[in-house]
Amino acid sequence: MGTAIKRVFQWSRPNDSGVSVLEDTSLNRDLLRHIIDFVQQFSTVHPNEASMPFYEPLQWSTSLQPSDFHSEYTVSDTSVESQETDADGRPLLHMTPPHISVRSFSQLSKLLVLSDDRKFKEAEACLEANRDPMLKILGPDVGTEPGQDSSEDKLRLQVILRQLGTQLLGNSVHQFSEDIMVSPVAVKREVEELQGLCGEKKRLKSVLYTSDFEFSNSCRSPPWRQVHGEIAYLIIETCDVGTLFVTCSTDGAFLNGGIGHGRHENAFDRKSEVYRDVTTLLKNKSPHFAEDLMKQDLQEEPQTAQKLQHVEAVDAEEPGQTPRSYEQEEKNATERQEPALNKDLEPSPPNCEIATESLKKSPKSESKKKTAASGSPLTGCTSSHKASPGEGYSESSSESEDDEEIIERRGDSYTDVPSEYWHIQKLVKYLKGGNQTATVIALCSMRDCNLAQEACQLAIRDVGGLEVLINLLDTEELKCKIGSLKILKEISHSAQIRRAIVDLGGLQTMVSILDTPDKQLKCLAAETIANVARFRRARRTVRQHGGIWRLVKLLECAPKPTTLSTEQEKDVEVARCGALALWSCSKSTRNKEAIRKAGAIPLLGRLLKSPQNNVLIPVVGTLQECASERSYRIAIQKEGMIEDLVKNLSCDNQELQTHCASAIFKCAEDKQTRDLVRQFNGLHSLVVLLKQTENKQLLAATTGAIWKCSISMENVEKFEEYRVLQTLVALLSDQPEEVLVNVVGALGECAQRPVNRIAIRKSGGIPPLVSLLTGTNQALLINVTRAVGACAMDPENMAIIDRLDGVRLLWSLLKNPNPAVQASAAWAICPCIENAKDSGEMVRSFVGGLELIVNLLNSPNSEVLASVCAAISKIAKDEENLAVITDHSVVPMLSSLTNTTDDNLRRYLSKAIARCCMWGSNRAAFGEAGAVAPLVHYLCSKDPKVYQTTAQALFQLSKDPNNCITMHQSGVVKLLIGMMGSSDEVLQEAAASCVANIRRLALANEKNRFG
Amino acid sequence: MAEMSALSRKLIQNMAETLSKQVKHFNKTETECLIRLFNTLLGEKTESKATHGLDRGKFRNILHSTFGLTDDMIMDRVFRTFDKDNDSSLSVKEWIEGLAVFLRGTLDEKIKFCFVVYDLNGDGYISREEMFHMLKNSLIKQLTEEDPDEGIKDLVEIVLKKMDYDHDSRISFSDFSNAVRDENLLLEAFGPCLPDLKSIQAFEQHAFQDTSRT
């Protein structure tokens, strides 16, 4: 406490009489308030210590009068004495105004209560008069004084006071962090940032400096204003509150009287309170800006991070090359002193020392300062790791789920060091300095520590234990290796330890250990690799050091499903560990390749027949991880693994079921696999699994598998039998997105069959589907639009969709930035227009809708183009709408697409052209835009689906004579005559009519010429 | 001479037959090989095998050179453990019985073996003093400037904490056996007294192949 009062309080410079007083700063006020609270509660919190007399009284001049004292005091005219006395009968409080002397905390606390609203003043006066209260309270030789009967109390008092001291230091550190000057560089950075917010995002209209000239000290204000700490002036045009004139000064930002806006007399005056920075000022002044910032929560993150940089430690940079006022200098001096002062703190109380140490580093960010405040020796070197032991294997395929990005986070999760920390430190010493026997003992003892606890994991690392453990792996001593790996296996659940192990080259050694004949050692090495290889660099290391094929070799045991000997059991265990490691490794694409090349697939296939769940889980885990690669999917199917996967769908372990389902999910992209799943009765197992609605991962995998399986119509029939649709519809609410995506995907596939469309309606699936159209998840939107589109093919469904305004929702998805969503929405729109009543009117009612869809013809994505063409061909059925889209120049846009080679697009494009011919002079316009000749070539396309629509388009176009000529020149007749022989009647008719038109024109021509 | 060796071969075969029935882990031929090896080790005084046995020095030589044990005290204890009748020499039977555990013992047998080795005074407990004695050379590098014994004492406490299940400050056989079952690494907690896998393989290969040639 003494040190805190001496150092932390901000004292003024000594005045004439050499006395310095407490400055009236917020820091001081805060600290005083803290001390007052402390003293007032002292009697109740520590009753014993409160009555203990001080070594020397605290004396100061008080503003209290004898009249302020009531009972418990002997009051005379000129003096007051407390009735409470010490052992010798001397009163603990004695006052002869204005002098007062107090000798115990109980009296101090009563006094503060008495002084009521003057307590602040009293406390201040007391502290000013007693610069080292610790010395007076406890005496010069604290704790060492023998013979004193109350020495134990004294010791306790000492501890309490030190705690207070620590708290005060902590508080003040917190204060500094907010009370730091703004530097010109920070202002510059902030202004740049704010300028970034102008324009597109429309948070602000503009942010400008009043002066383009920047002085060499980075200030833009004139030197005579720099004296006042002013750095630059800004003119900020906001979107809502007009123009703000802002002064940026070392104290922060405030509004001025209009600098840069004509000549005002009091332009430089402060017109608002001082905010920490310009952003804060704007937040307070412009509601629009504040709201916008709030909205962009995600972007807010990095911004706050940047904001931290604005607050620079004072000693970083000073604006003042120019002369500055005395006041300013003074202020800087005190502020600059603070970090330095703290260095000098006597490090007597242990906690205090830590606080100072952290301060020495002159913390630049607030987070660091908080560390100092929370003050534990560990916080500086630890972090909270996110990986809990169980978490590891549930993560799914994407590589982005690496813990690559984990940085040392400063956790404040625990405040004191666990006792095991010191124990571990000792054990590591034995590891370093002992022979084999001592090492083994130390290793065994270390295993008794709670290695799952982060503190222990980091303790091992911090005292250099990790290096020793890894070095032990390089020795010849089997026992040491085993013991070391047992520990490494445990602690490698921590992300930081994993990283450290890789950095120390531990993975290489472990990989080479895989060659050992000792099975236990092999297992441990593989399991540890499985733990360590959770991030990309580690996985790469394993691959580059030949770990993959070594691991694959571990799989080469021959487990006979029946009784196993002990030796064989060990082999199975080796295989299990190998699979575990491969599973971790298989999260990298290159590793998947390497695993396949090492010949793992048949081995995995063999292990897949194992009856043990603990073997199956890593095996299936690896398979499902790898099934993202096509080569694996083929291999899984070819090796006959689908049967085993299907079989395990009905096992009793949910994790295994999840992996099996998700392997099927991935593999069922392939038609043959889907058939196999059906043949092995997997569809029924999947349907049974749908009941496990609690386990979301399992549910996601199951619904995924059902989705992919339902791509085959035979499977859909099966599903109908099992009445899956009703179950799926029930899953449309209250499920996480990854489940919803799959459920909706499955519904979309099932609804390709008309009976299911009715079933979906009857089980009430339409409203939830339509409401999902408002979502944001792209994958979900793609599936929902597909499902809604499929449902809309049923007129009764369409009525519901229409009532729910589903078409409008679909239409608005055309604005989605993702082309896949656009296309899917456009496809869904087609049946809607087809089946809605008054669809023409409905489409017209979407303001700007037609323009929107026509403009999508500019998309570079051919799927979008095809879907939009399809939609346009539906829209164009309504004449009025056709007129509108013609006005939006649909004709030239369609014409410009005619050179495509994409058969799918060709098909819908010609359909759209055929429809659009129906209006006005569009036929001629298509001809002029050069659409005719390319269309003729469509008839040579390989896809027969193109022919029908092309023939129809040509027929429509042939009603214009000029087009006929073009067609004829392009050699259409021969092609059309071929088409006339088709079995497709529509095609026949269109082709024949087109030829007829051409012929008629030729006849008319001849007639003209010869007639 | 040929008759002699034929005779002795017969004898050896008979002995091997009886011994292999008494001792686990070795079959008859293996026993025979070990008897031959025993005889070779004794030198050429094969005929008087009943009275003479393998003495301490020879046996320690074997432990050191063949099985890679180094600690004098432990080797001594291993000899005593082999020497069941305490006559300071190993008979053929003791040799084969001992090797059976030494080379191929189950975990239980090894636990028993090691405990006897470590129980220096044979009172059925491994006391603090015995541990200290066995561990006193285990710290290669002195940890601190202070009393070197401090480190050892501390190590003994660590072991006790780990192995003394009944908290009587000494390790009984059941303590030892429980602890080792719990953590196999503790089998040779007080110093190596069993051969490692490599030397076992080397020895067996040498012993069983070598003699089969003759």
Q: What pLDDT, in 10s, does the model give residues A1-32? A: 555 566 667 676 666 666 677 777 777 787 88
The alpha carbon torsion through A178, A183, A186, A191 (nearest 10 deg) reads 110
Is A332's pLDDT higher than 50? Answer: no
Report if residue B88 sits inside a domain: yes
A795's tokens: 């007129």
* Strand stretches in B52-152, DSSP E: 54-55, 89-90, 125-126
Is A326's pLDDT higher than 60? Answer: no
Beta bridge mates, A316: none
Do A461 and A413 have their domain in common? yes
The pLDDT, as a whole number, for residue A65 is: 80
Q: Mean pLDDT, to the nearest integer, of A368-373?
A: 40
Give residue-wise pLDDT tens across range A632-661. Answer: 998 888 888 899 999 999 888 899 999 999
Total number of domains constituting chain A: 5
Containing H/E element for A531? helix A519-532
> Which residue from A742, A777, A546, A767 is spatially nearest to A658, judged by alpha carbons?
A742
The pLDDT, as a whole number, for residue A371 is: 39
pLDDT tens digits, chain B, 214 residues: what are they?
445 566 677 888 888 888 888 888 888 888 888 888 888 887 755 454 445 678 888 888 888 888 888 888 889 999 999 988 888 888 888 888 888 898 988 999 999 999 999 999 889 999 999 999 898 888 876 655 566 778 888 889 999 988 988 888 889 999 999 999 988 889 988 988 888 888 888 888 888 875 444 4
Report if residue B89 sits inside a domain: yes
Is A527's pLDDT higher than 90? Answer: yes
Q: Mean pLDDT, to the nearest integer, of A414-442?
A: 81
A542's tokens: 């394993």
The pLDDT, as a whole number, for residue A372 is: 39
Q: How many whole angstroms separate alpha carbon A282 and alpha carbon A887?
A: 46
Residue with tokens 């079989």: A647
Is A169's pLDDT higher than 90? Answer: no
> Which residue from A31, A386, A317 is spatially nearest to A176, judged by alpha carbons?
A31
Report if residue B57 sits inside a domain: yes
Do A78 and A31 have their domain in common? yes
Q: Mean pLDDT, to the nearest integer, of A898-917?
A: 90
pLDDT mean across residues, chain A = 79
Do B176 and B161 have their domain in common? yes
B158 to chain A, any CB pair closer than 8 A? The answer is yes
Q: Measured between CB atoms, which of B158, B190, B192 is closest to A445? A: B158
Do A296 and A203 have their domain in common? yes
Residue with tokens 């291999």: A635
Do A290 and A226 have their domain in common? yes
Q: Which of A254-268, A897-911, A917-931, A996-1010 has the lowest mean pLDDT?
A: A254-268
For residue A432, list chain B residues with Cβ-Cβ distance below 8 A.
Answer: 141
Do A301 and A368 have their domain in common? no
Is A482's pLDDT higher than 80? Answer: yes
CA-based end-to-end distance of chain A = 122
User: Judging by beta carbons within 10 Å of its beta carbon (0-12, 13-18, 19+), is residue A504 exposed, middle or buried?
Assistant: middle
Do B73 and B114 have their domain in common? no
Report if residue A119 sits inside a domain: yes
Total number of domains constituting chain B: 2
Do A168 and A215 have their domain in common? no
Q: Mean pLDDT, to the nearest integer, of A971-1000?
A: 87
Cβ contact A352:A166 at 8 Å = yes
The pLDDT, as a whole number, for residue A941 is: 85
Is A827's pLDDT higher than 90? Answer: yes
Report if residue A925 sits inside a domain: yes
For residue A570, list chain B residues with Cβ-Cβ distance below 8 A.
Answer: none
The alpha carbon torsion through B24, B28, B34, B37 (nearest 10 deg) reads 170
Q: Which of A231-240, A618-627, A851-860 has the lowest mean pLDDT?
A: A231-240
For residue B143, list chain A residues with Cβ-Cβ distance below 8 A.
Answer: 429-430, 433
Do B97 and B201 have their domain in common? yes
Determine the 3-state secondary structure of A477 from DSSP. coil
Report if residue A855 sits inside a domain: yes
Hey, are the CB atoms on A429 and B191 less than 8 Å from each other? Answer: no
Give residue-wise pLDDT tens across range B69-82. Answer: 888 888 999 999 99
> Which residue from A892, A897, A828 is spatially nearest to A861, judged by alpha carbons?
A897
Angle at A518 between CA A514 and CA A522, to 5 degrees: 35
Report if residue B3 sits inside a domain: no
Hey, are the CB atoms on B141 and A478 less than 8 Å from each other? Answer: no
Cβ contact A613:A660 at 8 Å = no
Give residue-wise pLDDT tens across range A750-766. Answer: 999 888 999 999 999 89
The pLDDT, as a whole number, for residue A406 is: 46
Angle at A634 between CA A784 and CA A689, to 5 degrees: 50
B183 to chain A, any CB pair closer than 8 A? The answer is yes
Report if residue B101 sits inside a domain: yes
Most confident of A55-59, A155-159, A308-312, A505-509: A505-509
Hey, are the CB atoms on A437 and B185 less than 8 Å from each other? Answer: no
Confidence of residue A319 (pLDDT cuts 50, 70, 90): very low
Report if residue A869 sits inside a domain: yes
Do A995 and A860 have their domain in common? yes
Domain that holds residue A307: 184-324
For residue A518, list chain B residues with Cβ-Cβ distance below 8 A.
Answer: 197
For residue B196, list chain A residues with Cβ-Cβ distance below 8 A.
Answer: 478
A572's tokens: 């199975």
The pLDDT, as a whole number, for residue B144 is: 59
Do A354 and A289 have their domain in common? no
Do B208 and B147 have their domain in common? no
B190 to chain A, any CB pair closer than 8 A? The answer is yes
Report if residue A562 sits inside a domain: no
Q: Measured between CB atoms, which of A430, A443, A447 is closest to B155? A: A430
Q: Which of A223-227, A319-323, A919-923 has the lowest mean pLDDT?
A: A319-323
Decide which of A157, A176, A195 is a domain's last residue: A176
B143 to chain A, any CB pair closer than 8 A? The answer is yes
Domain that holds residue B180: 108-188
Report if residue B1 sits inside a domain: no
B8's tokens: 């002795």
Do B73 and B42 have their domain in common? yes
Decide which of A504, A533, A552 is a domain's last residue: A504
> Which residue from A916, A810, A934, A824 is spatially nearest to A872, judged by alpha carbons?
A916
Containing H/E element for A472? helix A465-473
Q: Mean pLDDT, to the nearest integer, of A80-105?
A: 81
A606's tokens: 């063999």
CA-based end-to-end distance of chain B = 15
Report if residue A823 sits inside a domain: no
Q: Which of A72-86, A301-315, A994-1008 has the lowest mean pLDDT?
A: A301-315
Q: Measured between CB atoms, which of A445, A478, A518 is closest to B162? A: A445
Report if residue A518 sits inside a domain: no
Q: Mean pLDDT, to the nearest integer, of A332-352?
A: 42
Q: How many whole angstroms separate alpha carbon A673 and alpha carbon A709?
A: 9
DSSP letter at A13?
A: P
Do A249 and A107 have their domain in common? no
Sorted by sequence, the CB contacts under 8 Å of residue A525 that are 6+ apart come out as A485, A510, A511, A513, A514, A516
Do B112 and B42 have their domain in common? no
Report if residue A721 sits inside a domain: no
Do B17 and B55 have their domain in common? yes
Is A746's pLDDT higher than 50? Answer: yes
Do A496 and A427 have their domain in common? yes
Q: Measured between CB atoms, which of A433, A448, A518 is closest to B143? A: A433
CATH number at residue B92: 1.10.238.10
For residue B161, list chain A residues with Cβ-Cβ distance below 8 A.
Answer: 445, 448
Report if residue B5 sits inside a domain: no
For residue A183, the one-letter residue type is S
Counting residues of chain A whose pLDDT is more than 90, the rounded percentage is: 21
For residue A445, list chain B residues with Cβ-Cβ distance below 8 A.
Answer: 158-159, 161-162
> Which residue from A339, A319, A341 is spatially nearest to A329, judged by alpha carbons?
A319
Residue with tokens 């008719």: A989
The pLDDT, as a whole number, for residue B3 is: 53
- Three-state secondary structure of A494-512: CHHHHHHHHHCCHHHHHHH
Q: How many whole angstroms separate alpha carbon A343 and alpha carbon A671?
A: 73
**Across the A/B interface, how many CB contacts are shorter than 8 Å?**
68
A80-82, strands of its sheet edge to edge? A58-61, A99-102, A93-96, A80-82, A73-75
Confidence of residue A867 (pLDDT cuts 50, 70, 90): very high
Do B95 and B159 have their domain in common? no
Do B88 and B42 have their domain in common? yes
Q: Mean pLDDT, to the nearest integer, of A782-809?
A: 90
Do B38 and B94 have their domain in common? yes
Do B114 and B176 have their domain in common? yes
Distance from CA of B87 to the nearest CA of A (A): 30
Report if residue B2 sits inside a domain: no
Q: How many whole angstroms separate alpha carbon A373 and alpha carbon A166?
A: 9
Residue A801: how many other CB atoms lie within 10 Å? 29
CATH number at residue A900: 1.25.10.10
**Residue of B69, B136, B138, B154 to mutate, interface with A, max A Cβ within 10 Å:** B138
Q: Which of A333-347, A902-916, B58-72 has the lowest mean pLDDT?
A: A333-347
- Which residue of A lies nearest to B158 if distances are taken between CA atoms? A445
Chain A residues with CB under 8 Å of a chain B CB are 426-427, 429-430, 432-438, 440-445, 447-448, 478-479, 482-483, 517-518
Give residue-wise pLDDT tens across range B121-142. Answer: 889 999 999 999 898 888 876 6
Is A376's pLDDT higher than 60? Answer: no
Do A929 and A846 have their domain in common? yes
Cβ contact A267:A259 at 8 Å = yes
Q: How many whole angstroms separate alpha carbon A534 and alpha carbon A231?
A: 50
The pLDDT, as a whole number, for residue B141 is: 66
B189 to chain A, any CB pair closer than 8 A? The answer is yes
Do B61 and B159 have their domain in common? no
Is A204's pLDDT higher than 50? Answer: yes
The pLDDT, as a whole number, for residue A14 is: 65
The pLDDT, as a whole number, for residue A353 is: 41
Is A135's pLDDT higher than 60? Answer: yes
Is A63's pLDDT higher than 90? Answer: no
Residue with tokens 């008495």: A114
Q: Measured between CB atoms, which of A433, A434, A440 is closest to B185? A: A440
The CA-atom distances, in angstroms, between A335 and each of A27, A167, A177, A180 are 11, 20, 11, 8
Cβ contact A994:A955 at 8 Å = yes
Do A866 and A930 have their domain in common? yes
Confidence of residue A195 (pLDDT cuts 50, 70, 90): confident
Sorted by sequence, the CB contacts under 8 Å of residue B13 that are 6+ apart come out as B32
Q: Measured between CB atoms, which of A430, A441, A518 is closest to B189? A: A441
Determine the 3-state secondary structure of A195 from DSSP. helix
Counting residues of chain A whose pLDDT is more than 70, the rounded percentage is: 82
